Structure 1
Amino acid sequence: MVGRDEKLAGKEKQVVKRLEKTLVRQQTSEEREKGQNDSKMKEMILSSSSDEEDTDNGDDDTVSCKAGPTQEKIQRGRKAVIPPELATTLDRIKMSDRKAMFIISETAKSLGHNITDFTLNCDSIHRLRMKHQSVQSAALKAKFQDNIPLVIHWNGKLIAYLTSKEQVEQPIIVSGKGVFQLLTVAKLTSGTGEAQAPAVYSAIEDWCITENIRAMCFDTTSSNTGRLAGTCVLLEQKIGKERLSLACRHHVMELFIGAAFEVCLGSTSAPQVQIFTGFQPYWMFV
Protein backbone atom coordinates (compact mmCIF):
# COMPACT_ATOMS: atom_id res chain seq x y z
CA MET A 1 0.00 0.00 0.00
CA VAL A 2 2.75 2.48 0.93
CA GLY A 3 5.56 1.11 -1.23
CA ARG A 4 8.73 -0.82 -0.48
CA ASP A 5 10.67 -0.34 2.75
CA GLU A 6 14.24 0.23 1.58
CA LYS A 7 15.80 -0.11 5.05
CA LEU A 8 14.10 -3.43 5.67
CA ALA A 9 15.12 -4.66 2.22
CA GLY A 10 18.73 -3.70 2.90
CA LYS A 11 18.72 -5.57 6.20
CA GLU A 12 17.29 -8.64 4.49
CA LYS A 13 20.05 -8.51 1.86
CA GLN A 14 22.70 -8.35 4.60
CA VAL A 15 21.17 -11.38 6.31
CA VAL A 16 21.19 -13.33 3.04
CA LYS A 17 24.82 -12.40 2.40
CA ARG A 18 25.84 -13.55 5.88
CA LEU A 19 24.05 -16.87 5.36
CA GLU A 20 25.78 -17.36 2.01
CA LYS A 21 29.18 -16.67 3.54
CA THR A 22 28.44 -19.12 6.36
CA LEU A 23 27.49 -21.83 3.87
CA VAL A 24 30.65 -21.21 1.84
CA ARG A 25 32.81 -21.52 4.97
CA GLN A 26 31.08 -24.74 5.96
CA GLN A 27 31.58 -26.22 2.48
CA THR A 28 35.26 -25.31 2.41
CA SER A 29 35.81 -26.77 5.88
CA GLU A 30 34.01 -29.99 4.88
CA GLU A 31 36.08 -30.27 1.70
CA ARG A 32 39.26 -29.68 3.70
CA GLU A 33 38.33 -32.39 6.20
CA LYS A 34 37.41 -34.76 3.36
CA GLY A 35 40.77 -34.17 1.72
CA GLN A 36 42.60 -34.82 4.99
CA ASN A 37 40.65 -38.06 5.50
CA ASP A 38 41.44 -39.20 1.95
CA SER A 39 45.13 -38.54 2.46
CA LYS A 40 45.08 -40.49 5.72
CA MET A 41 43.37 -43.42 4.02
CA LYS A 42 45.98 -43.42 1.25
CA GLU A 43 48.79 -43.43 3.82
CA MET A 44 47.17 -46.34 5.66
CA ILE A 45 46.77 -48.31 2.40
CA LEU A 46 50.37 -47.65 1.38
CA SER A 47 51.69 -48.61 4.81
CA SER A 48 49.65 -51.81 4.88
CA SER A 49 50.82 -52.76 1.38
CA SER A 50 54.43 -52.14 2.33
CA ASP A 51 53.99 -54.32 5.41
CA GLU A 52 52.60 -57.14 3.26
CA GLU A 53 55.53 -56.90 0.87
CA ASP A 54 57.96 -57.07 3.77
CA THR A 55 56.28 -60.20 5.17
CA ASP A 56 56.22 -61.87 1.74
CA ASN A 57 59.87 -61.16 0.96
CA GLY A 58 61.11 -62.02 4.43
CA ASP A 59 61.73 -65.50 5.90
CA ASP A 60 59.13 -67.28 8.01
CA ASP A 61 61.37 -67.28 11.09
CA THR A 62 61.89 -63.47 11.07
CA VAL A 63 59.49 -61.01 12.70
CA SER A 64 57.93 -58.48 10.36
CA CYS A 65 58.51 -54.82 11.14
CA LYS A 66 56.74 -51.75 9.80
CA ALA A 67 58.84 -49.70 7.45
CA GLY A 68 58.30 -46.00 7.69
CA PRO A 69 60.20 -42.89 6.71
CA THR A 70 62.77 -41.79 9.28
CA GLN A 71 62.36 -38.17 10.24
CA GLU A 72 65.18 -36.31 11.91
CA LYS A 73 64.16 -34.53 15.07
CA ILE A 74 64.84 -30.84 15.11
CA GLN A 75 67.04 -30.02 18.06
CA ARG A 76 66.02 -26.84 19.81
CA GLY A 77 68.62 -24.48 21.11
CA ARG A 78 69.31 -24.51 24.83
CA LYS A 79 71.63 -21.53 25.30
CA ALA A 80 70.04 -18.55 27.03
CA VAL A 81 71.01 -15.17 25.60
CA ILE A 82 69.35 -12.80 28.10
CA PRO A 83 71.75 -12.13 30.98
CA PRO A 84 70.60 -9.88 33.84
CA GLU A 85 72.41 -6.83 32.46
CA LEU A 86 70.76 -7.18 29.06
CA ALA A 87 67.35 -7.73 30.64
CA THR A 88 67.78 -4.54 32.68
CA THR A 89 68.76 -2.61 29.56
CA LEU A 90 65.72 -3.88 27.63
CA ASP A 91 63.45 -2.82 30.48
CA ARG A 92 65.10 0.58 30.72
CA ILE A 93 64.60 1.39 27.04
CA LYS A 94 61.09 -0.19 27.09
CA MET A 95 61.76 -2.60 24.23
CA SER A 96 59.20 -5.30 23.50
CA ASP A 97 60.05 -9.01 23.49
CA ARG A 98 59.49 -9.30 19.73
CA LYS A 99 61.83 -6.42 18.88
CA ALA A 100 64.43 -7.78 21.28
CA MET A 101 64.27 -11.18 19.55
CA PHE A 102 64.92 -9.61 16.13
CA ILE A 103 67.84 -7.51 17.35
CA ILE A 104 69.49 -10.35 19.27
CA SER A 105 69.13 -12.83 16.38
CA GLU A 106 70.64 -10.42 13.84
CA THR A 107 73.44 -9.52 16.23
CA ALA A 108 74.25 -13.20 16.76
CA LYS A 109 74.31 -13.76 12.98
CA SER A 110 76.65 -10.82 12.41
CA LEU A 111 79.04 -12.21 15.05
CA GLY A 112 79.17 -15.59 13.32
CA HIS A 113 77.01 -17.59 15.71
CA ASN A 114 74.47 -20.22 14.75
CA ILE A 115 71.14 -18.92 16.03
CA THR A 116 69.68 -22.44 16.19
CA ASP A 117 71.88 -23.01 19.24
CA PHE A 118 70.07 -20.27 21.18
CA THR A 119 66.58 -20.04 22.66
CA LEU A 120 65.33 -17.16 20.54
CA ASN A 121 61.55 -16.74 20.76
CA CYS A 122 59.24 -14.23 22.37
CA ASP A 123 58.06 -16.57 25.13
CA SER A 124 61.55 -17.54 26.30
CA ILE A 125 62.74 -13.93 26.26
CA HIS A 126 59.65 -12.87 28.24
CA ARG A 127 60.21 -15.62 30.83
CA LEU A 128 63.87 -14.69 31.27
CA ARG A 129 63.05 -11.01 31.66
CA MET A 130 60.40 -11.78 34.28
CA LYS A 131 62.83 -14.06 36.10
CA HIS A 132 65.53 -11.38 36.23
CA GLN A 133 62.98 -8.81 37.41
CA SER A 134 61.88 -11.05 40.30
CA VAL A 135 65.51 -11.68 41.26
CA GLN A 136 66.31 -7.97 41.22
CA SER A 137 63.18 -7.20 43.25
CA ALA A 138 64.14 -9.78 45.88
CA ALA A 139 67.68 -8.36 46.05
CA LEU A 140 66.35 -4.80 46.52
CA LYS A 141 64.04 -5.92 49.32
CA ALA A 142 66.89 -7.80 51.02
CA LYS A 143 69.22 -4.77 50.95
CA PHE A 144 66.56 -2.23 51.90
CA GLN A 145 67.18 -0.33 55.14
CA ASP A 146 64.21 -1.16 57.33
CA ASN A 147 65.48 0.22 60.64
CA ILE A 148 64.74 3.93 60.10
CA PRO A 149 61.47 5.95 60.22
CA LEU A 150 59.84 6.23 56.82
CA VAL A 151 57.20 8.36 55.08
CA ILE A 152 54.83 6.71 52.62
CA HIS A 153 53.90 8.73 49.51
CA TRP A 154 51.05 8.16 47.06
CA ASN A 155 48.89 10.23 44.73
CA GLY A 156 45.17 10.11 44.09
CA LYS A 157 45.43 10.76 40.34
CA LEU A 158 45.11 7.82 37.95
CA ILE A 159 47.11 7.33 34.76
CA ALA A 160 45.56 5.42 31.85
CA TYR A 161 47.14 2.01 31.20
CA LEU A 162 48.81 1.66 27.79
CA THR A 163 47.65 -1.81 26.71
CA SER A 164 44.14 -2.03 28.18
CA LYS A 165 41.28 0.00 29.61
CA GLU A 166 42.51 -0.47 33.16
CA GLN A 167 43.80 2.40 35.27
CA VAL A 168 47.20 2.51 36.92
CA GLU A 169 47.81 4.34 40.17
CA GLN A 170 50.84 6.57 40.32
CA PRO A 171 53.94 5.11 42.04
CA ILE A 172 53.90 4.31 45.77
CA ILE A 173 57.15 5.54 47.30
CA VAL A 174 58.78 5.64 50.73
CA SER A 175 61.35 8.16 51.86
CA GLY A 176 63.48 8.65 54.92
CA LYS A 177 66.99 9.61 55.99
CA GLY A 178 69.11 8.64 53.01
CA VAL A 179 66.27 6.54 51.58
CA PHE A 180 64.05 7.13 48.57
CA GLN A 181 62.61 3.89 47.25
CA LEU A 182 59.89 3.01 44.76
CA LEU A 183 57.76 0.20 46.20
CA THR A 184 55.33 -0.51 43.38
CA VAL A 185 53.02 0.94 40.74
CA ALA A 186 49.60 -0.34 41.78
CA LYS A 187 46.95 -1.14 39.18
CA LEU A 188 43.59 0.21 40.28
CA THR A 189 40.19 0.47 38.68
CA SER A 190 39.26 3.67 40.54
CA GLY A 191 40.79 6.38 42.69
CA THR A 192 38.59 5.89 45.76
CA GLY A 193 39.92 5.34 49.24
CA GLU A 194 38.60 1.77 49.30
CA ALA A 195 40.76 0.98 46.25
CA GLN A 196 43.88 2.93 47.25
CA ALA A 197 44.24 1.90 50.90
CA PRO A 198 44.59 -1.88 50.25
CA ALA A 199 47.13 -1.19 47.49
CA VAL A 200 49.29 1.01 49.73
CA TYR A 201 49.04 -1.42 52.64
CA SER A 202 49.89 -4.38 50.40
CA ALA A 203 53.02 -2.58 49.16
CA ILE A 204 54.38 -1.83 52.65
CA GLU A 205 53.51 -5.35 53.82
CA ASP A 206 55.34 -6.83 50.83
CA TRP A 207 58.47 -4.88 51.78
CA CYS A 208 58.01 -5.68 55.53
CA ILE A 209 58.16 -2.01 56.58
CA THR A 210 54.76 -1.60 58.21
CA GLU A 211 56.20 -0.76 61.63
CA ASN A 212 58.61 1.78 60.13
CA ILE A 213 55.91 3.98 58.57
CA ARG A 214 55.66 7.14 60.67
CA ALA A 215 53.91 9.58 58.33
CA MET A 216 51.74 9.71 55.22
CA CYS A 217 52.25 12.17 52.34
CA PHE A 218 49.30 12.66 49.98
CA ASP A 219 47.33 15.23 48.00
CA THR A 220 44.31 16.95 49.51
CA THR A 221 41.58 15.19 47.54
CA SER A 222 38.51 13.89 49.29
CA SER A 223 39.45 10.32 48.39
CA ASN A 224 42.51 10.72 50.62
CA THR A 225 41.29 13.07 53.36
CA GLY A 226 37.74 11.74 53.88
CA ARG A 227 37.07 11.09 57.55
CA LEU A 228 35.08 7.91 56.89
CA ALA A 229 36.30 6.36 53.63
CA GLY A 230 39.50 8.31 52.96
CA THR A 231 42.72 6.48 52.17
CA CYS A 232 44.45 7.89 55.26
CA VAL A 233 41.76 6.68 57.67
CA LEU A 234 41.52 3.24 56.08
CA LEU A 235 45.30 2.86 56.00
CA GLU A 236 45.59 3.73 59.69
CA GLN A 237 42.92 1.15 60.45
CA LYS A 238 44.87 -1.52 58.59
CA ILE A 239 48.14 -0.58 60.29
CA GLY A 240 46.45 -0.40 63.68
CA LYS A 241 48.07 2.89 64.67
CA GLU A 242 47.66 6.57 63.90
CA ARG A 243 50.25 8.17 61.66
CA LEU A 244 51.25 11.78 61.02
CA SER A 245 49.42 13.30 58.05
CA LEU A 246 51.72 15.32 55.78
CA ALA A 247 49.45 16.78 53.11
CA CYS A 248 51.19 18.05 49.97
CA ARG A 249 52.32 21.63 50.60
CA HIS A 250 51.36 22.69 47.08
CA HIS A 251 47.79 21.54 47.55
CA VAL A 252 47.65 23.12 51.00
CA MET A 253 48.87 26.48 49.67
CA GLU A 254 46.20 26.35 46.96
CA LEU A 255 43.58 26.52 49.70
CA PHE A 256 45.18 29.61 51.27
CA ILE A 257 45.70 31.33 47.92
CA GLY A 258 42.13 30.52 46.86
CA ALA A 259 40.74 31.99 50.09
CA ALA A 260 42.84 35.17 49.69
CA PHE A 261 41.71 35.54 46.06
CA GLU A 262 38.07 35.20 47.06
CA VAL A 263 38.43 37.91 49.74
CA CYS A 264 40.24 40.33 47.42
CA LEU A 265 38.54 39.76 44.05
CA GLY A 266 35.43 37.77 44.85
CA SER A 267 34.47 34.24 43.95
CA THR A 268 34.52 33.00 40.37
CA SER A 269 33.61 29.76 38.62
CA ALA A 270 35.34 30.49 35.32
CA PRO A 271 38.33 28.30 34.39
CA GLN A 272 40.31 31.43 33.46
CA VAL A 273 40.26 34.76 35.29
CA GLN A 274 40.27 37.73 32.93
CA ILE A 275 42.65 39.87 35.01
CA PHE A 276 45.26 37.08 34.99
CA THR A 277 44.89 36.22 31.31
CA GLY A 278 45.32 39.88 30.38
CA PHE A 279 48.37 40.22 32.63
CA GLN A 280 50.00 37.03 31.32
CA PRO A 281 51.08 38.35 27.87
CA TYR A 282 52.36 41.55 29.52
CA TRP A 283 54.54 39.62 32.02
CA MET A 284 57.62 39.68 29.74
CA PHE A 285 57.74 43.47 29.96
CA VAL A 286 57.60 43.64 33.76
Structure 2
Amino acid sequence: MEEERKRVEKHLVHTNYPLEVSDTEDAEKDISAGEENAAKDMNEGEDTDGGNINLLPKKANRGKINFIDDRMLACMDKWNLSTRDAMHLVSATVAAFINTMQSVNGTPSIKMEDLILNRTTLHSMRRDFRRRQAQEIINGFNIPDVFVLHWDGKLLAEIRGTEKKDRLSLVVTGENMGKLLGIPKIESSTGDAIAAEIHNFLCK
Protein backbone atom coordinates (compact mmCIF):
# COMPACT_ATOMS: atom_id res chain seq x y z
CA MET A 1 0.00 0.00 0.00
CA GLU A 2 2.79 2.38 0.84
CA GLU A 3 4.47 1.74 -2.54
CA GLU A 4 1.15 2.23 -4.34
CA ARG A 5 0.59 5.55 -2.54
CA LYS A 6 4.07 6.74 -3.53
CA ARG A 7 3.33 5.86 -7.16
CA VAL A 8 0.11 7.84 -7.02
CA GLU A 9 1.78 10.86 -5.40
CA LYS A 10 4.56 10.79 -8.00
CA HIS A 11 2.00 10.63 -10.78
CA LEU A 12 0.13 13.58 -9.29
CA VAL A 13 3.29 15.68 -9.55
CA HIS A 14 3.62 14.92 -13.28
CA THR A 15 -0.05 15.28 -14.22
CA ASN A 16 -0.63 18.50 -12.22
CA TYR A 17 -4.29 17.88 -11.36
CA PRO A 18 -5.79 21.20 -10.16
CA LEU A 19 -6.60 21.22 -6.46
CA GLU A 20 -8.79 23.99 -5.08
CA VAL A 21 -8.09 24.06 -1.34
CA SER A 22 -10.58 25.97 0.83
CA ASP A 23 -10.16 24.23 4.21
CA THR A 24 -8.72 21.05 5.66
CA GLU A 25 -11.76 18.89 4.92
CA ASP A 26 -12.08 20.10 1.33
CA ALA A 27 -8.35 19.65 0.82
CA GLU A 28 -8.56 16.03 1.93
CA LYS A 29 -11.50 15.46 -0.45
CA ASP A 30 -9.66 17.05 -3.36
CA ILE A 31 -6.54 15.05 -2.66
CA SER A 32 -8.55 11.85 -2.53
CA ALA A 33 -10.27 12.74 -5.80
CA GLY A 34 -6.93 13.57 -7.37
CA GLU A 35 -5.50 10.27 -6.19
CA GLU A 36 -8.47 8.41 -7.68
CA ASN A 37 -8.05 10.20 -11.01
CA ALA A 38 -4.33 9.58 -11.02
CA ALA A 39 -4.82 5.90 -10.17
CA LYS A 40 -7.38 5.63 -12.97
CA ASP A 41 -4.99 7.21 -15.48
CA MET A 42 -2.21 4.94 -14.27
CA ASN A 43 -4.36 1.87 -14.74
CA GLU A 44 -5.34 2.99 -18.23
CA GLY A 45 -1.70 3.63 -19.10
CA GLU A 46 -0.50 0.21 -17.96
CA ASP A 47 0.39 -2.19 -20.74
CA THR A 48 -0.31 -5.91 -20.65
CA ASP A 49 3.34 -6.94 -20.79
CA GLY A 50 5.14 -5.48 -17.81
CA GLY A 51 2.63 -3.09 -16.22
CA ASN A 52 4.68 -0.02 -17.19
CA ILE A 53 3.01 3.39 -17.08
CA ASN A 54 2.90 5.40 -20.31
CA LEU A 55 2.86 9.07 -19.35
CA LEU A 56 3.73 10.33 -22.82
CA PRO A 57 1.00 12.27 -24.66
CA LYS A 58 -0.66 10.59 -27.58
CA LYS A 59 0.82 11.51 -30.94
CA ALA A 60 -1.50 13.64 -33.04
CA ASN A 61 -2.55 12.11 -36.34
CA ARG A 62 -1.46 14.13 -39.35
CA GLY A 63 -3.74 14.70 -42.30
CA LYS A 64 -3.32 12.54 -45.38
CA ILE A 65 -5.19 14.52 -48.06
CA ASN A 66 -2.89 16.60 -50.25
CA PHE A 67 -4.79 19.42 -51.97
CA ILE A 68 -1.92 21.75 -52.92
CA ASP A 69 -1.34 21.58 -56.69
CA ASP A 70 1.26 23.06 -59.02
CA ARG A 71 -0.80 26.20 -59.65
CA MET A 72 -0.74 27.07 -55.96
CA LEU A 73 2.99 26.39 -55.76
CA ALA A 74 3.60 28.58 -58.81
CA CYS A 75 1.62 31.42 -57.20
CA MET A 76 3.70 31.14 -54.03
CA ASP A 77 6.89 31.52 -56.07
CA LYS A 78 5.43 34.35 -58.16
CA TRP A 79 4.53 36.31 -55.02
CA ASN A 80 7.91 35.43 -53.50
CA LEU A 81 6.28 34.04 -50.36
CA SER A 82 8.32 32.29 -47.73
CA THR A 83 7.16 28.82 -46.75
CA ARG A 84 5.99 30.12 -43.37
CA ASP A 85 3.91 32.93 -44.93
CA ALA A 86 2.54 30.57 -47.58
CA MET A 87 1.46 28.09 -44.90
CA HIS A 88 -0.35 30.86 -42.99
CA LEU A 89 -2.17 31.94 -46.16
CA VAL A 90 -3.15 28.40 -47.14
CA SER A 91 -4.36 27.52 -43.63
CA ALA A 92 -6.46 30.68 -43.38
CA THR A 93 -7.97 30.08 -46.83
CA VAL A 94 -8.86 26.46 -46.01
CA ALA A 95 -10.38 27.44 -42.67
CA ALA A 96 -12.51 30.14 -44.31
CA PHE A 97 -13.65 27.72 -47.01
CA ILE A 98 -14.62 25.02 -44.49
CA ASN A 99 -16.50 27.54 -42.34
CA THR A 100 -18.39 28.77 -45.40
CA MET A 101 -19.31 25.23 -46.43
CA GLN A 102 -20.44 24.50 -42.88
CA SER A 103 -22.72 27.53 -42.80
CA VAL A 104 -24.23 26.60 -46.17
CA ASN A 105 -24.42 22.80 -46.12
CA GLY A 106 -24.11 22.00 -42.44
CA THR A 107 -21.34 19.62 -41.44
CA PRO A 108 -18.56 19.68 -44.10
CA SER A 109 -17.31 16.41 -45.54
CA ILE A 110 -13.66 17.44 -45.03
CA LYS A 111 -12.11 18.73 -41.81
CA MET A 112 -8.89 20.63 -41.23
CA GLU A 113 -7.44 17.56 -39.50
CA ASP A 114 -7.82 15.53 -42.71
CA LEU A 115 -5.62 17.84 -44.79
CA ILE A 116 -1.83 18.02 -45.05
CA LEU A 117 -1.00 21.38 -43.48
CA ASN A 118 2.58 21.60 -42.24
CA ARG A 119 5.59 23.63 -43.30
CA THR A 120 7.92 20.65 -43.72
CA THR A 121 5.73 19.02 -46.35
CA LEU A 122 5.09 22.33 -48.10
CA HIS A 123 8.82 23.06 -48.24
CA SER A 124 9.48 19.67 -49.86
CA MET A 125 6.65 20.21 -52.35
CA ARG A 126 8.00 23.61 -53.39
CA ARG A 127 11.51 22.23 -53.79
CA ASP A 128 10.29 19.33 -55.96
CA PHE A 129 8.11 21.67 -58.01
CA ARG A 130 11.04 23.97 -58.80
CA ARG A 131 13.20 20.99 -59.72
CA ARG A 132 10.53 19.65 -62.09
CA GLN A 133 9.97 23.07 -63.63
CA ALA A 134 13.69 23.56 -64.26
CA GLN A 135 13.98 20.11 -65.85
CA GLU A 136 10.96 20.76 -68.09
CA ILE A 137 12.49 24.05 -69.27
CA ILE A 138 15.78 22.34 -70.08
CA ASN A 139 14.12 19.44 -71.88
CA GLY A 140 11.78 21.71 -73.85
CA PHE A 141 14.46 24.07 -75.11
CA ASN A 142 16.25 23.38 -78.39
CA ILE A 143 19.28 25.47 -79.29
CA PRO A 144 18.76 26.91 -82.79
CA ASP A 145 21.19 26.29 -85.61
CA VAL A 146 22.30 29.92 -85.58
CA PHE A 147 22.80 31.46 -82.17
CA VAL A 148 25.08 33.67 -80.11
CA LEU A 149 26.47 32.44 -76.80
CA HIS A 150 27.15 34.99 -74.10
CA TRP A 151 28.99 34.26 -70.87
CA ASP A 152 30.35 36.16 -67.93
CA GLY A 153 32.07 35.07 -64.75
CA LYS A 154 31.38 36.44 -61.30
CA LEU A 155 32.44 35.67 -57.75
CA LEU A 156 29.21 34.95 -55.82
CA ALA A 157 28.53 33.93 -52.25
CA GLU A 158 27.21 30.44 -51.60
CA ILE A 159 23.59 29.99 -50.62
CA ARG A 160 24.73 28.46 -47.35
CA GLY A 161 27.64 29.94 -45.47
CA THR A 162 29.86 32.89 -46.31
CA GLU A 163 32.23 31.20 -48.75
CA LYS A 164 32.37 32.61 -52.28
CA LYS A 165 32.66 30.62 -55.51
CA ASP A 166 33.32 31.48 -59.14
CA ARG A 167 30.21 31.09 -61.26
CA LEU A 168 29.70 31.35 -64.99
CA SER A 169 26.45 32.67 -66.45
CA LEU A 170 25.60 31.24 -69.89
CA VAL A 171 23.01 32.92 -72.12
CA VAL A 172 21.95 31.93 -75.64
CA THR A 173 20.33 34.45 -77.98
CA GLY A 174 18.99 34.03 -81.47
CA GLU A 175 16.19 35.21 -83.71
CA ASN A 176 13.28 36.25 -81.48
CA MET A 177 14.62 34.22 -78.55
CA GLY A 178 16.90 34.40 -75.56
CA LYS A 179 17.47 31.85 -72.84
CA LEU A 180 19.56 31.60 -69.70
CA LEU A 181 21.14 28.16 -69.86
CA GLY A 182 22.53 28.10 -66.36
CA ILE A 183 24.96 29.53 -63.83
CA PRO A 184 27.35 26.64 -63.11
CA LYS A 185 30.26 26.71 -60.69
CA ILE A 186 33.79 26.79 -62.06
CA GLU A 187 37.04 25.89 -60.37
CA SER A 188 38.74 29.12 -61.44
CA SER A 189 38.16 32.10 -63.71
CA THR A 190 40.95 31.24 -66.12
CA GLY A 191 40.27 31.03 -69.86
CA ASP A 192 40.90 27.27 -69.98
CA ALA A 193 38.48 26.57 -67.10
CA ILE A 194 35.76 28.75 -68.66
CA ALA A 195 36.16 27.11 -72.09
CA ALA A 196 36.02 23.62 -70.59
CA GLU A 197 32.89 24.45 -68.58
CA ILE A 198 31.12 25.94 -71.61
CA HIS A 199 31.94 22.87 -73.70
CA ASN A 200 30.75 20.47 -70.99
CA PHE A 201 27.57 22.43 -70.41
CA LEU A 202 26.61 22.57 -74.09
CA CYS A 203 27.24 18.84 -74.49
CA LYS A 204 24.73 17.92 -71.80
Q: TM-score, normalised by structure 2?
A: 0.55
Match of 2:180 in 1: 182
CA distance in 2: counterparts of 1:86 and 1:189, whole angstroms: 38
- The share of aligned pairs that are identical, in percent, is 25
1:156 aligned to 114, 130, 153, which one? 153
Once the two structures are TM-superposed, the CA of residue 124 in structure 1 deviates from its matched residue by: 1.3
Aligned runs of 1:26-45 on 2, under 5 Å? none
Structure 1 portions without partners, runs of 5+: 1-34, 40-45, 52-64, 207-286
CA distance in 1: counterparts of 2:84 and 2:68, whole angstroms: 13
SS of aligned partner of 1:157: strand
State whether structure 2 residue 102 is matched by structure 1 residue 105: no
Once the two structures are TM-superposed, the CA of residue 170 in structure 1 deviates from its matched residue by: 5.9
Structure 2 portions without partners, runs of 5+: 1-9, 15-41, 99-109
Once the two structures are TM-superposed, the CA of residue 68 in structure 1 deviates from its matched residue by: 7.5
Aligned runs of 1:135-284 on 2, under 5 Å? 135-161=132-158, 163-167=160-164, 169=167, 171-187=169-185, 191-193=189-191, 196-206=194-204
CA distance in 2: counterparts of 1:107 and 1:72, whole angstroms: 28
**RMSD after superposition:** 3.8
CA distance in 2: counterparts of 1:204 and 1:135, whole angstroms: 20
SS of aligned partner of 1:135: helix
Match of 2:131 in 1: 134
Aligned runs of 1:18-57 on 2, under 5 Å? none
1:87 aligned to 44, 51, 73, which one? 73
Q: Supply the AA of the counterpart residue of 1:76.
A: R
Q: Supply the AA of the counterpart residue of 2:181.
A: L
Q: 1:82 to 1:192 in 2, by over 3 A?
A: farther
CA distance in 2: counterparts of 1:189 and 1:157, whole angstroms: 12
Once the two structures are TM-superposed, the CA of residue 179 in structure 1 deviates from its matched residue by: 2.7
- Does the aligned pair in 2 maintain the 1:167–1:188 contact within 8 Å? no
SS of aligned partner of 2:124: helix
- Based on CA coordinates, which of the two structures has the bigger radius of gyration? 1
> How many residues end up aligned between the 2 structures?
149
- Indicate the larger mover: 75-84 or 113-122: 113-122
- Does the aligned pair in 2 maintain the 1:161–1:167 contact within 8 Å? yes
Match of 2:24 in 1: none
